[in-house]
Amino acid sequence: MRTRVILKPGRRGTKRLVEQYGAELLCGRYRYDEAHGKRYKTVELGVEESEWQAPIAAATIVGVQVAFREADLQQKVRQAGGKWNPAQRVGTQVRQSGGAGINSADCAGRTIY
């Protein structure tokens, strides 16, 4: 079955659907069944509406430049889940989340990419 046309409420061809379903109508579709030679008119209805907020990303991956002799910072990076990035050769990928691991004071004056 193939969908060819999706109509939003108020567009041409949705007058009866809007009269029947009102504000609950999200869209109408025409679906075609080529095997049986039939066309189906379907509707998408909104049955419940509630407040919602997108989840905040738990972790962001950033690159921090770490020198070879900075063993203490290397250890913090590893504990935070960081990995060496051989393509950039000087950076370490660090996973920062909610204050755990590396903080901005550790990264002061460093190249972050």
pLDDT in tens, 12-33: 888 999 999 999 999 999 999 9
Question: Please, are residues 18 and 25 in contact by the beta-carbon 8 Å criterion?
Answer: yes
Q: How do the domains of the chain map onto residue ranges?
A: 2-45, 57-113
| pLDDT digits 0-9 by tens, 48-87 | 989 988 776 666 666 777 777 878 877 777 777 777 766 6
Q: What is the pTM of this model?
A: 0.45
Could you tell me the end-to-end alpha-carbon distance of the chain, in angstroms, rounded to an integer? 47
| pLDDT of amino acid 58 | 60
What's the pLDDT score for residue 24? Answer: 93
